[in-house]
Structures are given as C-alpha cells and as structure tokens.
A and B are shown apart, each in its own frame.
Chain A
Amino acid sequence: MNSPELENASRRQFLRTSALAGGGLVLGLYIDAAESAAKRIAKPSSVVETAEFKPNAFIRIAPNGVVTLISKQPEIGQGIKTSLPMVIAEELEVNWKDVVIVQGDLDPVYGSQSAGGSRSTPTNYQEFHRLGATARTMLILAAAETWQVPAAELVARDSAVHHAASGRKLDYAQLVAKAASLPVPKPETVQLKDAKDYKLLGTRIGGVDNPRVVTGKALFGIDVQLPGLLYAVYQKSPAFGGKVVSANLDKIKALPGVKHAFIVEGGSSLKGLLPGVAIVADSTWAAFTARKQLEVVWDEGPAAAQSWAGFTAKAQELSEQAGSEVLRNDGNAKAALDDADKTVEAAYSYPFISHASIEPQNCTAWFKDGGIEVWAPTQNPEAGQKIVTETLGIPKDKITLHITRSGGGFGRRLIPDYIIEAAAIAKQIGVPVKLTWSREDDLQHDQFRAGGFHFLKGGLDDKGKLIAWHNHFVTFAHKVVKDGKESLELGSGANLSGDEFPGRWVENCLLEQTPLECNIPMGPWRAPRSNVLAWVFHSFIDELADAAGRDPLAFRLEILGDKGFVPGTGQQGIPYDVNRMKHVLRHVAEKAEWGKKSFPRGQGQGIAFHFSHLGYIAQVAEVTVSKAGKLKVDRVVVATDIGAQIVNLSGAENQVQGSVIDGLGALMFQELNIDKGRIVQSNFHDYPMIGIADAPTRVDVHFLKTDNPVTGLGEPALPPLAPAVCNAIFAATGIRVRQLPLLRTDLSWS
C-alpha cells in the first residue's frame, strides 16, 4: 500500500497517481527521496533482483541496499516522521543517508496510528527498538551462515555486517536474499543496543521532509491533486448546530464553474457531519466565488441565545454558590481559611480560542464502486475511517485512507468533522473532490479550546506556609441524552482532575466544579486542560507567595515537599514524581540565576512548573515591560525531564522553543468572542497570532536525562510558559494578570 515506486526520472511528474494491486491510488510524494537514495548507493548490476528483506511491516531492505522505513503516525510538525524511524535505524545499524521514510496509510498492521496526547513516543519507543534489532539480528545471522562463522563474532555497523577476525564485510544489500529466507525471531528475544553505544539517537537530525518543504513540493493534504478533481466548499450554520431550511441552489448552480450545489442534511453531533450546503466547482476560486452569493435560511436552534457576555455573568453568579460537583475534599478547607493567618482571593478567566493551524482543514475524497478513497491531513486516521463508516454506511474494508502531512495539528485534526464532510460530498457526486475550508470556516467552526472561570481562595499560616486551597471552577458542557435521560457532559479539554497540582499537596483542599451548558464545539488544544490550568494555579501560587512575603521558588519547593512518588487518586488519577519536578525546578533556577540577578523596575523574572503528558517541565521567564505597558520576553529558560533519552535533539529543541512561542502567542493575543451562538472573529485581522517580533530573544532549553521511560514532547513544554511570563510581569510591574489574553490587562506603570 505504501510503495514509493521507483520510476524513470523522465516520467517524473509533480504529483502522480499510480494504479496498485489493490486498485487504489498512491501519492507519488516520496519518489524523489527514494530515487536519490537509490542513485547514491545502488550497485551497478546487470542482474535484476526482486526479493526484498521485509522482517516486519515497518522495514524493507531492497537488493540495491535502499532501506525503506514506514512512519505510521501522522506528521503534524511534531517530528515523529523523523524521530521514530531514527529509533529503528539506530538498532538496525544503518546509515541514515541510506534510509527512505514512507508515510504509512491507515492499516491495522501498524497498530494505533493516532497522534495525540504526546503519546506517539512513549507507546512506540520500545517496540521500535525491537523492530530494528530484529532486522539487525537476522542480517547478522545471514552473514554467519554465509561465512560459516559464529554470529557472536560478527558486528553490524554502517549498513554492513563485519567479521573482525577475518577482516571481511558484507553489505546489507548482499545479505538481503539470505536474510529474507530466515525465520523472524520473536521481538522480545532480540538483543537491544546499550544506550552508551547509540550513534544516531540524541544527535541532531533534520526533518525528513525538509528538502520538499523548502522547494515547495507537494506534501500536505491541501496539495493533493487527482485527475478530474473538483473543488468543494461547505457552508454550515454560523450559529453552532443550526439546520438548513432552504438555500438559493438554483442561482448557485448557474454560476460560472459550479458543477453541483446541494443541501446536506447532516446530524446534530458537533464533532460529526453537521447540516450545510455544499458547492462543488471546477476550481477552488470558482467555489469560493459562488459561495459569496449563497443565501441560506437557517433554523439556528438553541445556540443562538448564547454569548460570552452571558456566560461571564452566569459564572459570576455561580461563584457565590457551592459547586455542583466536588472533585476533591481533603481536610476542611473552609475552616482552615477561616483560621488562616492570611487569605488571598482571586478570580481568573480565559476565553475560547482556536487552533488556527495555518493549513486550513481540508480533505480529498473519491467515492467509486461502493468504496471510498480519502486523503486527509489528520492526526487521527482511525477516527476518520470510523466516522465515514458510521455516517455513510461504507464498510471499513471499502475505505482507503491516505495520511498526508498536516500543516499543524495542535489537537484540531484529532476530530474528523472535515473528513466526513468531504466524504459525504464525494459520495453524492462520485468523482474526486477536494473540500477546502476557508480561514473563516476554520476559525468559526473549530473544536475550540474551552474558556473557563476559576474562583480561588488560599490560606497561609503564620509562618507563610500554604495550608488551605479552595477553587470553584466554572466550565462548559454539552447537553446529552442517554437512555431518555438528559445530562451535562463536560466539553473535551474542559474538565479539571481532582489530582491537578496543588491537589494532593495542600492539607485542606476543596475543588468544586460547575458546568455551563453551551452548544459550542470543544476539543483538545495542545496540552488540553494544562494549557490554562498551569497559568491559573501557578499565577495564584505566586499571589500567595507574595502575600506570605516568600521567595516564589522556595514557596513552591515547600509545597512540593518531600512526598517522593505520589500515586494518583480517583478515576483519572495521575501519578506524580515529586523528585523529578524538584530536580527540573532547581535546575532551571540555577541556569536562570534565580534570585541572584537584580532587575530595575519594569524588568523581572517569573517561575512556574507543570507536569503533563508524562513530562516534568519548569521554566523561568525574563521580561521587560515598558512604561507604556509593552511586553517583551527577553529570555525563557526551560528545564525538561522526559526520561532517559532525547530521540532527536534538533526536533526536541524545536518542539520546546515552539511550545514556548505558541504559549506566548495564546497568552498575549488569542481570544474569541461569542455572540448569538456564533464566533464574532473571522480571520487573522481580528484574531491576531504571534509574529516574529514578539518571539522571545532567547529560549534556552536544558534536557535532563533521568532513568525513566522515554516520553513525548509535543505538548508538555507549553503549559508553564504563561504563568512564568505573568509572574515575571508581576515581578517587573506589580501588576497581576488574571484574565487572558494579556491585551485585556493594562500593563503600563509609572
């Protein structure tokens, strides 16, 4: 299914489709890389061999020595298409330059292919070692048989097996036929390399698609081209979940280039196929242009009465009451607050925001002969397949799903709404069609990061120790009906775990939660929950440290205490290693010279830490705030502990620096207003994103290797940024930021 066919260069086209055994089509995206690797290392030979060495679904070695590795997870900018194959290549003892990486289609042979929750590395790391080691073991055995020497006398390196005693060497290319004839050993029996012998892991390796990125070759979902391709747009109700009453389809059908215009009935799931109007034309621009004349009468439904202003007022009202659900109740927080030497009260809030990946959602689909072929920039191909089966009744085995590179993910592409829209349109018209969302569609029909409100009280004893913590969290939920009973289900990413720090650490701790019903789609946004909870809790901890007259670092170390390993509690309990967190916290403080530098007014340092996605991260931000209130982040120092090994140092550093800048962008600018059940903003002119001028001058990244399992880095470096910066703003100006984004707070000082 994933063959990067080697073709004659003269036949090379920009993007090709080629018929395969299964009757499918494959994008010719990887041909250049394969050709160039083949040219580089192929041995001239008059004999055409066809047998490959294919010890498992992820590794193929051709008789010409080209090593093809399958990347099974979607590449969304997190670097997984480079890093996981590096793990195989390390164990396989193959030269990286001889390797061609091919993106796997959706196929059960690869296991889970969803890329979310920073899970791709922790769930695959060990297995990928074994995949590579299995192949290496077989190549060594093939050489041992060829030479009739004990395998123990042989070593593999540089894509060859060496026999030191006799000075002989066989390239992998020469061993392909023999290795292919050997039985495949059980993966758990093969010998893995000792980490001290790693040559590739931990080095800086450039992204495998970089050559195509910098020359503008087709890579992304939106770049897919097919013979006879048509271009679609899909108009949904501006108010979430509205239904189509009527549309001026006759007028639309008569417009230049328009081939089809029809109403899609759709359903009520905000994550599924929503009602709308499809316009299909012979070019993207013809479809966009026709859409400007589309007039739809909508039945907007209950969302139309909802607004951010309304939600804010309601949250304020609820803050006076007890929460509808108690998430944690340790000791007696109310009594402890009454008895405390000092108390601090504060309300924090943050808005709904969009993922705003720069590649808008899009998907290409071709329905024919009762089956469908889909090309999707997706983080979650399994969900795409599932929704096509469930909504359109196309059986799983009649769905071919090609995973394209994604122009950013950030959690947005875990939800397959755009895939089912393209598939539904394709099923109706029976020719290949590419659905392209406009930026306005993308911003106004996202699966949004939920807004939220926290009403906090903290108590200190006479030594300035934190003894009481009370949070009433007002959040968002959808109404669901199960077995005829209505209930509220919290939005994705809108929930709070009772284990979230400082739950489990403060002896008197009351965490309450009250949901507000809404019809706004909600979904995971990079480091779900953590991306805002870290800001709220570490900002408030800073307020308490200040009230106690304590150093913010010492205050935090005291809260963490000497608990060692703290097991999770409750249904979604989160185990937490206090020593790992203290380690990164002390390290970042040392590297940032915490408490050793003096700053003039208008400049300062702030500190924060957060544990999420199995990663322990601490950050110190240094900022300058001008008298007029303009913020400049001068430097961010990051210490991370994500286990025993950094896979790709270049990619890891890029992820951390990107997380810092992404976190800063969300902190400074991002905000969606909601009125009449719809998003008010429409594009980047009224939804600004961080630009290069606001990026920090420096981001210093320190990776602390510890004897722990290797975990992911797509998300955990983001959450501590916002509180570190806001705490630095407080240190610089005395102004406390309690509302996001930052532009809501006047930072000017005199």
Chain B
Amino acid sequence: MSNYTVNINGTPRTVEVAPDTPLLWVLRDHLSLVGTKFGCGIGQCGACTVHLDGQPVRACLTPIAKVGLSQVTTIEGLHPRGEHPLQKVWQELDVPQCGYCQAGQIMTAAALLKKNPRPSDQDIDTALAGNLCRCGTYLRIRAGIHRAAEVAGKEAI
C-alpha cells in the first residue's frame, strides 16, 4: 500500500492503495466517483473511459501508480454544471436506454470533438469503435455527436 495524490477533476485527491490498483477502482471505491463504470476489466468495452490530460484512456487498465501528475477528468468533471454540449444533447435526443455505457461514450465523444469539431460518420465510427453499447443506441450516439458538434459550433460563435 502506498499514498498517491492524483489530480481528479481539478482537485488533488490522496488515496492509500496498492500501486497496481486501476484508476477505475480508485475512483469508484475510494473516491465515490461512480460515474466511471466497470464493464470488462480488460479495456474491451469502454465503459470506464476517462481523460488523462485530455486523451481518452481506459481507467480499468491505468494503474494508479502511472497517473502521476496527469490531469484526470471523469464524467463528473466533464463540465462544472453537467452542461457540456454532449451532456445536453444526450438528453435532448434521449440517447440512453439502460445508460450504463453512456458516460464512456460521452467521454470518448468529448475527446473526439475537441480534436475534430466536425466529425464525419466515419470519424465517429472510428473514434467510438471501442465503446460498446449493449442496448444498441448507436444511431442516436452518432446523431448526438453530430448535433453536439453543431451546438458547440454555435456556442463558440
């Protein structure tokens, strides 16, 4: 067991855990940030996607010892009031069914939009290839990302 201080959603948080503890379980069990979900534990489903310095990563494959000084952003910290264009559009288009994968979908999509503010269907399919939605909301996910791109574009103006 060791002490780790990591920067989560802009706040330094200290936990005492084993060095190989995945960031996923630090968030969920030790910091009560349960928006990041456990789905497979081997980086195959994307439900645990968070940002490390803005890049989407799988929290289940990211040991706490490797986080270092990186800025971790989770779904809880994506926007201070939960009003990221994707979060608004996801409600407007009623994207979720069960909702379990959607935090991961939104985090991956947010990273995509930052890099590529006007993604094509092809760009979306490539970026979100690793995020499974068992309920099959993929059509609304695609539509939601396009719509968020539109909304974000207008907001920027």
Q: Is the CB of A661 within 8 A of B25?
A: no
- In the bound complex, residues from chain B placing their C-beta under 8 Å from that of A231 are 29
Judged by a CB distance under 8 angstroms, whether A684 is at the interface is yes
Q: Is the CB of B134 within 8 A of A408?
A: yes
Bound CA span A665–B135, Å: 10
**In the complex, how many angstroms separate the beta carbon of A164 from the nearest chain B beta carbon?**
35
Q: Is the CB of A405 within 8 A of B99?
A: yes
- In the bound complex, residues from chain A placing their C-beta under 8 Å from that of B38 are 222, 284, 360, 436
Encode contact with B along A702-716: 1 for CB under 8 Å, 0 otherwise: 000000000000000
- In the bound complex, residues from chain B placing their C-beta under 8 Å from that of A407 are 37, 98-101
**In the complex, how many angstroms separate the beta carbon of A242 from the nearest chain B beta carbon?**
24
Q: Select the residue from B20, B25, B35, B97 with max chain A CB neighbours within 10 A.
A: B97
Judged by a CB distance under 8 angstroms, whether A685 is at the interface is yes
Q: Is the CB of A657 within 8 A of B36?
A: no
Q: Find B132's partner among A257, A689, A697 (CB 8 Å cutoff).
A: A689
Encode contact with B along A660-696: 1 for CB under 8 Å, 0 otherwise: 1110010000000000000000011100011111011
- B1 nearest in chain A by CB position: A256
Judged by a CB distance under 8 angstroms, whether A359 is at the interface is yes
- In the bound complex, residues from chain B placing their C-beta under 8 Å from that of A661 are 136, 138-139
Bound CA span A436–B34, Å: 14
Q: Find A692's partner among B17, B44, B142 (CB 8 Å cutoff).
A: B142
Q: Is the CB of A659 within 8 A of B136?
A: yes
Q: Is the CB of B97 within 8 A of A692?
A: no
Q: Is the CB of B82 within 8 A of A699?
A: no
Q: Is the CB of B37 within 8 A of A692?
A: no
Q: Is the CB of B128 within 8 A of A692?
A: yes
**In the complex, how many angstroms separate the beta carbon of B66 from the nearest chain A beta carbon?**
15
Main SS at interface, chain B: loop
Judged by a CB distance under 8 angstroms, whether A364 is at the interface is no
Q: Is the CB of A654 within 8 A of B76?
A: no
Contact count band on A: 35 or more
- A75 nearest in chain B by CB position: B98
- B97 nearest in chain A by CB position: A77
Residues of chain B at interface, number, CB under 8 A: 62
Judged by a CB distance under 8 angstroms, whether A218 is at the interface is yes
- In the bound complex, residues from chain B placing their C-beta under 8 Å from that of A213 are 90, 96, 99, 102-103
- A698 nearest in chain B by CB position: B139
Q: Is the CB of A684 within 8 A of B102?
A: no
- Contact A693:B129 (CB < 8 A) given known A215-B75, A216-B36, A285-B29: yes
**In the complex, how many angstroms separate the beta carbon of A445 from the nearest chain B beta carbon?**
15
Q: Is the CB of A684 within 8 A of B129?
A: no
Q: Is the CB of B36 within 8 A of A662?
A: no
Encode contact with A along B59-72: 1 for CB under 8 Å, 0 otherwise: 00000000000000
Q: Is the CB of B125 within 8 A of A693?
A: yes
Contact segment of A115-123, A194-202, A204-212, A338-346: A204-212
**In the complex, how many angstroms separate the beta carbon of B9 from the nearest chain A beta carbon?**
10
In the complex, chain A residues 626-677 whose Cβ is within 8 Å of any chain B Cβ: 650-651, 654-655, 657-662, 665
Encode contact with B along A210-242: 1 for CB under 8 Å, 0 otherwise: 110111111110110100000100000000000
Q: Is the CB of A216 within 8 A of B33?
A: yes
Judged by a CB distance under 8 angstroms, whether A357 is at the interface is yes
**In the complex, how many angstroms separate the beta carbon of A137 from the nearest chain B beta carbon?**
32
Bound CA span A87–B22, Å: 44
In the complex, chain A residues 351-368 whose Cβ is within 8 Å of any chain B Cβ: 356-360
Q: Select the residue from A219, A407, A665, A692 with max chain B CB neighbours within 10 A.
A: A692
Q: Is the CB of A692 within 8 A of B138?
A: yes
- In the bound complex, residues from chain A placing their C-beta under 8 Å from that of B47 are 358
- In the bound complex, residues from chain A placing their C-beta under 8 Å from that of B57 are none
Q: Is the CB of A405 within 8 A of B98?
A: yes
Encode contact with A along B80-96: 1 for CB under 8 Å, 0 otherwise: 00100011001110101
**In the complex, how many angstroms separate the beta carbon of A585 from the nearest chain B beta carbon?**
24
Q: Find B29's partner among A211, A283, A697 (CB 8 Å cutoff).
A: A283
Q: Find A223's partner among B20, B34, B76 (CB 8 Å cutoff).
A: B34
Q: Is the CB of B125 within 8 A of A358?
A: no
- In the bound complex, residues from chain A placing their C-beta under 8 Å from that of B22 are 285
Bound CA span A657–B39, Å: 23
- In the bound complex, residues from chain A placing their C-beta under 8 Å from that of B135 are 77, 408, 658, 662
Judged by a CB distance under 8 angstroms, whether B5 is at the interface is no
- Contact A358:B33 (CB < 8 A) given known A214-B106, A215-B87, A654-B140: no
- A439 nearest in chain B by CB position: B40
- Contact A439:B91 (CB < 8 A) given known A408-B135, A665-B136: no
Bound CA span A692–B136, Å: 8
**In the complex, how many angstroms separate the beta carbon of B100 from the nearest chain A beta carbon?**
3
Q: Find B35's partner among A217, A288, A357 (CB 8 Å cutoff).
A: A217
In the complex, chain B residues 1-37 whose Cβ is within 8 Å of any chain A Cβ: 1, 17-18, 20-22, 25, 28-30, 32-37
Bound CA span A220–B126, Å: 29
- In the bound complex, residues from chain B placing their C-beta under 8 Å from that of A211 are 82, 91
Bound CA span A214–B82, Å: 8
Q: Is the CB of A439 within 8 A of B34?
A: no
Bound CA span A76–B96, Å: 11
Bound CA span A657–B93, Å: 14
Q: Is the CB of B37 within 8 A of A358?
A: yes
- In the bound complex, residues from chain A placing their C-beta under 8 Å from that of B33 are 216
Q: Is the CB of B82 within 8 A of A218?
A: no
Bound CA span A339–B115, Å: 68
Bound CA span A288–B86, Å: 34
Encode contact with B along A1-33: 1 for CB under 8 Å, 0 otherwise: 000000000000011000000000000000000
4 pairs of A and B residues whose beta carbons are closest in the complex: A216-B35, A77-B98, A661-B136, A407-B100
Q: Pull 28 A–B residue pairs with CB atoms less than 8 Å apart, ordered by A.
A: A75-B98, A204-B94, A205-B94, A210-B99, A214-B90, A214-B91, A215-B82, A215-B87, A218-B34, A285-B21, A288-B41, A358-B47, A358-B132, A358-B133, A359-B39, A359-B98, A405-B98, A407-B98, A408-B135, A410-B134, A436-B38, A439-B41, A439-B45, A692-B124, A692-B138, A692-B141, A696-B139, A697-B121
- With contacts A211-B82, A220-B100, A695-B139 known, what are 18 further pairs, Cβ within 8 A? A15-B34, A76-B98, A77-B98, A213-B99, A213-B102, A213-B103, A283-B17, A283-B29, A284-B38, A357-B100, A358-B37, A358-B101, A407-B101, A410-B134, A655-B97, A657-B140, A691-B138, A692-B129
